Amino acid sequence: MRLWQNSLPLRLAVITGSVFITVLFAALFASYMTTDYLLKSSLDSSLTSLAQSIASNWSEKGWTQELSTSKEAQQQLYIQVIDNQDKIVYSSTQGVLPVDDDLLQLALKGRESFTDSLGSFSNSAYEPSHGRHGSHGHREHLNAPSLPIWMRPFWPEEGGMRILYWPLPNGKDGNYVLQVASPVTNNADMLYNLRKILLMISFGAVMVVAVISAYLVWSTFKPLRKIIVVAKKIDANTLTSRIDVPIRDATLNHLVDVLNAMLKRLEAAFTTQTRFVNDAAHDLRTPLSALRSELEITLRQKRSEKEYVQALKGCLTEVDYMSSLTDNLLALARFDSGLHMQFEESVALGPILQRVNSELGDFAEKTQVSIIISLEKDIRVDCNPLAIERLLKNLLHNSIRYTPAGGLIELILRDKVSLGGDEGVELVIKDTGIGIHPQDLPHIFDRFYRSDGARRRDGGGSGLGLSICQSIVKNHEGTIEIQSERGKGTCVTIWLPRSSYLL
């Protein structure tokens, strides 16, 4: 039972073989029953022809002498005539036939019928000189046992007869019934031989089907076994490997593509995790070392109150930096995994943009940077409003931070912008800041990457802001691009689709 439950190939082989064998047996059964029907129909046709021939001469000649000298009487055929008084008036030399009362009454009413019968027939024929009683006058009522009808084609009974009840025209003494019968021995022999042939065919077919089913299942699962062997060899050190097994089946090819795509995602996730752990350890080690040094130096000797305050402020700066770093790490992990990215339908972007501008307005005034907002009315998209707000805060904060006093920042929001055949909205943040050095542009979305001008701790940057922005945009199926020229400013362009499949 456990082997049956745990082995899919075994179950498929048994089920496939069972289906084939069932269809085969059904075909053999149908052929056997068809043969039996044709043999019986041929016999019935012969008996009917004989009965019609006898009935056509019934009123024209002396029927007793005619029946006795007919060719049919010389063959292996039984002929018997019964009158309406339930008496045998003639029987052929082969013996006396049994009579079914119900079929006899139907024949007296003018309806012919067939029946199968088995009985120990009397071998003495009717002789008129012996009178109308006993076994030579009245017919014997034989109730011989027989097999059920549905079993007769498979085991024809020895001595069985096929009997036709045929109404004869009215004679001078009233109605008569003609019985014409023939042994089914020839049919039984043919069916017996057919059964032996079909049995041998069935046995051979079962063996062939078993072998074919096993081979088909084995060949079907052969590519899967190859995939399993290759997949088992892939571990953390070989995530760059891919399953490369030549397969002709489209379904299995799709499975291989899915597995390779999964391996690609695992490789990217593992690489990101490794880089994340290494960079996080490095970035956390620096403020912790600075904090430890500050405290050790302060505790070496007594200090004035002013010196203690200055030392504590330095420690607080490092703590704030670590707090910001851990917050950004947590946010980045959530955005990468897609957690807490619950989308809302038809969110207005204008109010979000105005709210971000209001929150960062004091910072812009302090640095003497002007902000101009240009947006079309009632622009809506399917999005996570909190994530979009964080995206705008990060980008606008960077623009304010790296734009000198007297600079200008433009926030432009456009609707019905097509990208790749899809319609969406476009957000542009353009500043007149210091710009980004060309050598830094390819790395600005790398995690923990900070350009030389941004490496000062007093700026509070951890090198994760733009990585978070990129992750948010990707979660919204959008795009983000940055163009910058050193000393002239930076332009960030974001495109978001109007609707999202994540809803």
Looking at residue 134, its pLDDT comes to 38
- Distance from C-alpha of 376 to C-alpha of 386, rounded to nearest angstrom: 21
Say whether pLDDT at 338 is over 90: no
Class of domain 233-339: mainly alpha
Say whether pLDDT at 359 is over 80: yes
Looking at residue 399, its pLDDT comes to 93
Q: What are phi and psi of 426, to 5 degrees?
A: -125, 130
Structural domain boundaries in the chain: 10-192, 233-339, 341-497
Domain 10-192, CATH among 3.30.450.20, 3.40.190.290, 3.10.450.710, 3.40.50.11540: 3.30.450.20
Say whether pLDDT at 388 is over 70: yes
Higher-confidence position of 493 and 326: 493
Helices 305-337 and 250-299, packing angle to 10 deg:
180
Percent of the chain with pLDDT over 90: 19
Looking at residue 58, its pLDDT comes to 65
Question: 103: Cβ–Cβ under 8 A, 6 or more apart, which residues?
Answer: 113, 115, 165
pLDDT digits (tens, 9 = 90+) for 444-469: 888 777 765 544 444 556 678 888 89
pLDDT digits (tens, 9 = 90+) for 127-157: 443 333 334 444 444 444 445 544 555 555 5
* pTM exceeding 0.85: no
pLDDT digits (tens, 9 = 90+) for 199-212: 899 888 888 888 88
Looking at residue 391, its pLDDT comes to 92
pLDDT digits (tens, 9 = 90+) for 42-52: 999 989 988 88
- Distance from C-alpha of 456 to C-alpha of 322, rounded to nearest angstrom: 15
Structure tokens at 434: 């210091």
Q: What mean pLDDT is reported for the chain?
A: 79
Domains 10-192 and 341-497 share a fold: no
Considering only CA atoms, which of 347, 345, 355, 388 is closest in space to residue 475?
Answer: 388
Question: 260: Cβ–Cβ under 8 A, 6 or more apart, which residues?
Answer: 242, 243
Looking at residue 492, its pLDDT comes to 95
Say whether pLDDT at 172 is over 80: no
Please give the full DSSP string across 281-344, using - where no structure is assigned.
Answer: HHHHHHHHHHHHHHHHHHHTS---HHHHHHHHHHHHHHHHHHHHHHHHHHHHHHHHHTTT---E
Mean pLDDT within 352-381: 90
Looking at residue 153, its pLDDT comes to 52
Structure tokens at 449: 């990457």
Beta bridge partners of 427: 413, 494
Lowest mean pLDDT among 212-216, 233-237, 284-288: 284-288
The secondary structure of the chain in percent helix, strand, coil, rounded to multiples of 5, reads 55, 20, 30
Structure tokens at 472: 């948010």
Mean pLDDT within 307-332: 81
Looking at residue 38, its pLDDT comes to 93
Structure tokens at 283: 């970035």
The architecture that CATH gives domain 341-497 is: 2-Layer Sandwich (3.30)
Looking at residue 174, its pLDDT comes to 61
Looking at residue 191, its pLDDT comes to 87
pLDDT digits (tens, 9 = 90+) for 394-437: 999 999 999 999 999 999 998 888 887 788 899 999 999 999 88
Looking at residue 60, its pLDDT comes to 44
Looking at residue 125, its pLDDT comes to 43
Say whether pLDDT at 339 is over 80: no
pLDDT digits (tens, 9 = 90+) for 66-79: 565 555 544 668 88
pLDDT digits (tens, 9 = 90+) for 262-280: 888 888 778 767 766 776 7
Higher-confidence position of 457 and 290: 290
**How far does Cα 76 stand from its chain's mean position?**
64
